[in-house]
Structure 1
């Protein structure tokens, strides 16, 4: 399973406010097959150059991938790099700018065969004090994500962040050159190297080489106490993450869903952005860390930053409509782009999946065999109620999506609020749409949508004698 993603259609949500240091990321990509004649260094034959918002800009873009409104609080100036970032931010991200005395930092990487060879940094400046737009953004936040890259943006609004932490969840992604998180942060997300550094002499609770989950959890608990944070998640790269609380010897270890030998750049931003979204929707830190670990693993497995569509190629036609209540999640988008980039076939299937039974499982397994990834489109609670009547669904959308996400044949799960998934399919544009049951292709309204882009519609049978209605009837008869 390459990972699962979900999107909610629960209505309007207050925005996530991302506070931090924006960079301009520049990747020069090519292949290196020889060394330079004048020095023992590789010669990179440049094939492409890509630019995108980095730092807090990347975190904001990732937070907005599920259609959620995001406000980015960051320092931008009058330089060319600042202008480029403003132009490249995706439609779902609104800016509330801090003044910048200087120029925006530019981080340039040279990659050969997809692997970094060298990085060089330029630019830099000092953020100024917050104005009314920044103050209003933080007052109206549903959650705050601090993406601290040590350039001073978080320090410039620290008083406002401390006040926000008393009202809404604050996720703090710390930096060695930045200030400590404000007291009351709901979740702090250092990686294992940063956790060791922040702990200082106390970084090795059981010995210099102790790299066990328990050792990492003790560092997390120590930092939670020191920072007066509700919880600390120490991220362990391809091994997952450990969630710890102060004065608590009951840590939670969340393993990665799969191991991937890819470029991890941006995975930390993906982790923090996903966690902030879960907390904004009322989830617990344990829920947030579980979803964030899965999302970050899928992000790396799908190609990381290389899997993201070029920012300059983004057009309004390719962006989800602002009114769409259930745009596909960022993980689903990343998955689709990665599968298509290697010539694969994207398969989508749909249904309510209220009480998952063997018929559903066989149907989904058969659907997955028709292509290279399977995205399951699931009716929201309101949609099920309109289709099935009062008393349905038996399980909430959150539970139904979670169960489907656990199936090995399912790569992504997306919720939709309409009676049929036509609008969602037009955004996903799968190569194959699969429906289960005794339908006829010509009777399916989705089939016409698939024909618009040359897609194919298939009907696969369920196992005989298995149905949600029959399960519910049998359960009711046993209790009567």
Structure 2
């Protein structure tokens, strides 16, 4: 399952996605409130800093780009400073902005949050939230018609601020009739999109119960409440699949012909994240477009949202962060970028990182002793494991005895080993640069002068530890002993080996 998820994520880079919806600017104004003003019984807010982030459908577009896909954004913004700031931020995150329509009569939506002592005291909203002008609507229709065939999937992110008009919806219906594509919808009013027959929809709990005319409840019972109305939710929206997000209670995934599927999450009660839903819809859309089934797509999307809720403000999730998160429970790490992120977080937590490397072909007492000693040298042990091809180059065509996946499985069973990553180079210098280990462990009769990685380790602030091999234990000796079990001993050396066996 882990490898299936990673394979899907690695396909994101081949996808081209069109995001249509309401772009807005999230502004975070941090300050202090340690005084009361003279003219009224109200606190004085002293500004310390301003921070701008793309919000709404713009955040969805950024998340699509951060996850590795080619993201194109179609929206209407004002020809004002907020609009310019938003476009600059989109470009910085490699989102294509050439399709954005600007209207000097329509102020860009901005949501300004006043924050003191990590608490949001007030939110001030400004900008136009009514229907877009007829001229802008015609430009949107022409752009959509000309671009439609270029994309693998389309995400509609409708916050109810007027960008996606009835005419835009009608054109999408026509285009879907002639050339069906995966269309994923995240909207306040999902019934508007029924005729498009979305591949998937993403209501949150409040949106789902409003649509189903259900009473709002709290606690874990929410999932059961929505599950009981699963078929009706699909029928009302015309969607093939629905992912209902339930905050700390996870995600309820619904699809035609199958029972509801519950995906749990790790709750983060102190989270001040805004836009985790945008991250979820981005990862869900890309996973479906990359060929994953609905349940696997929802699991990947839930993982992406889990990455984001660990952050503050309007945030996104990169493909490397997502892979690192998925790899967090299993010990095997699939890429250097994920390893680098894991190591960075470990250092931030004050953990002492130990790194060692080797073939670990036929695991024996010598290996286990070395790994135990390495683990005792710090808080976390990362093992660089030679690939099959790199072993063949050094040991010959008949090695390794055990394939890479088998060696990973065996090492994963050792309590001393925290993380494993494969490498195909002659030396693990790339991994050392990514890890910045506090301790680099080698086994054998090396001296520091003969270890080629030593200068790099020391340059990065690490130390070298050398542990002698355990006598009479090596993979080569074990292989020879196994061979002698099948062949009669002929020479004195063979007799000694046979006797020692």
Aligned to 1:140: 150
Q: 251, 270, 283: which is aligned to 2:279?
A: 270
Aligned to 1:477: none
Cα gap change, 1:214/1:326 in structure 2, threshold over 3 Å: closer, same or farther? same
Offset of 1:143 from its aligned partner? 2.7
Aligned to 1:71: 72
SS at match of 2:228: helix
Q: Choose 61-70 or 264-273, whichever is displaced more.
A: 61-70
In the alignment, is the contact (CA less than 8 A) between 1:79 and 1:104 conserved in 2? yes
Q: Choose 258-267 or 158-167, whichever is displaced more.
A: 158-167
In the alignment, is the contact (CA less than 8 A) between 1:354 and 1:394 conserved in 2? no
Structure 2: stretches of 5+ with no match in the other structure: 319-333, 483-501
Q: Report 1:367-378 matches (<5 A).
A: 370=378
Aligned-residue RMSD, C-alpha: 5.2
Cα gap change, 1:35/1:11 in structure 2, threshold over 3 Å: closer, same or farther? closer
Q: Please give the per-residue CA displacement for 1:352-404, whole angstroms capped at 9, x wherever unaligned.
A: 9999x9989x9799879957x99x8999xxx95754679997769xxx99x99
SS at match of 2:97: strand
Q: How many angstroms apart in 2 are the aligned matches of 1:211 and 1:239?
A: 9
Q: Choose 23-32 or 413-422, whichever is displaced more.
A: 413-422
The reply on whether 1:191 has 2:204 as its aligned counterpart is yes
Offset of 1:269 from its aligned partner? 1.2
Q: 188, 193, 210: which is aligned to 1:175?
A: 188
Q: How many angstroms apart in 2 are the aligned matches of 1:172 and 1:142?
A: 15
Q: Report 1:239-250 matches (<5 A).
A: 239-246=249-256, 248=258, 250=259
Offset of 1:301 from its aligned partner? 2.1
In the alignment, is the contact (CA less than 8 A) between 2:387 and 2:422 conserved in 1? no
The reply on whether 1:229 has 2:233 as its aligned counterpart is no
Offset of 1:26 from its aligned partner? 0.7
Cα gap change, 1:76/1:262 in structure 2, threshold over 3 Å: closer, same or farther? same
Aligned to 2:26: 25
Aligned to 1:97: 99
Aligned to 2:437: 432
Q: 262, 281, 290: which is aligned to 1:281?
A: 290
In the alignment, is the contact (CA less than 8 A) between 2:12 and 2:68 conserved in 1? no
The reply on whether 1:297 has 2:298 as its aligned counterpart is no
The reply on whether 1:123 has 2:127 as its aligned counterpart is yes
Q: How many angstroms apart in 2 are the aligned matches of 1:369 and 1:39?
A: 62
Output the TM-score relative to the length of structure 1.
0.68
Offset of 1:233 from its aligned partner? 1.1
Offset of 1:190 from its aligned partner? 1.0
Output the TM-score relative to the length of structure 2.
0.65
The reply on whether 1:158 has 2:163 as its aligned counterpart is no
Q: Please give the per-residue CA displacement for 1:243-277, whole angstroms capped at 9, x wherever unaligned.
A: 112465x2111111343421131111121122222
SS at match of 2:288: helix
Q: How many angstroms apart in 2 are the aligned matches of 1:292 and 1:369?
A: 37
Q: Please give the per-residue CA displacement for 1:203-256, whole angstroms capped at 9, x wherever unaligned.
A: 249x899933211223444222211111111111122111112465x2111111
Structure 1: stretches of 5+ with no match in the other structure: 310-324, 475-480
Higher relative contact order (CA 8 A, sep 6+): 1
In the alignment, is the contact (CA less than 8 A) between 1:217 and 1:243 conserved in 2? no
* Residues paired across the two proteins, number: 426
Q: Name whichever structure is richer in helix by fraction.
A: 2
Offset of 1:191 from its aligned partner? 0.9
Q: Please give the per-residue CA displacement for 1:72-99, whole angstroms capped at 9, x wherever unaligned.
A: 2222342221111111123432124242
Larger radius of gyration: 2
Offset of 1:23 from its aligned partner? 0.6
